[in-house]
Amino acid sequence: MGMIVPLSDQEIESRLDALPEWERQGNAISRLVPVRYHAGVALIVHVADISRLTSHHADINLSFDGVRFTITTHDAGGVLTEADFTLAGRIDVIASGHSAAWDVGPIS
């Protein structure tokens, strides 16, 4: 495995400009995907499968208001690297396919 290079603050801000749903939280980036519970479970499984294939993982929290993904490069001591933003972009693509909205109404 090659050397992991942390991104500078300027590089991080530039990459965040391209990922408007994500926000920086210290040495991590985070996004809440607002989906219903069962859609959230499916989203988590899909992201977990991609994460397994790429060997880069997000911290995932399923709650009543959706799924929160938080990403940092743990292998580099918890800093932001290019791999974090690549994974964030993949999560955005996957999330767009799991777009169960809150305003769907009651299930009969």
Condensed to tens digits (0 to 9), the pLDDT of residues 36-69 reads 898 999 999 999 999 998 889 999 999 988 999 9
Condensed to tens digits (0 to 9), the pLDDT of residues 87-103 reads 999 999 999 987 645 44
All structural domains of the chain with their residue ranges: 9-100
Q: Which residues contact 22 (CB under 8 A, 6 or more apart)?
A: 16, 29, 30, 31, 88
Helices (H), 55-97: 82-96
Asked whether the whole model's pTM tops 0.75, one would answer yes
Class of domain 9-100: alpha beta
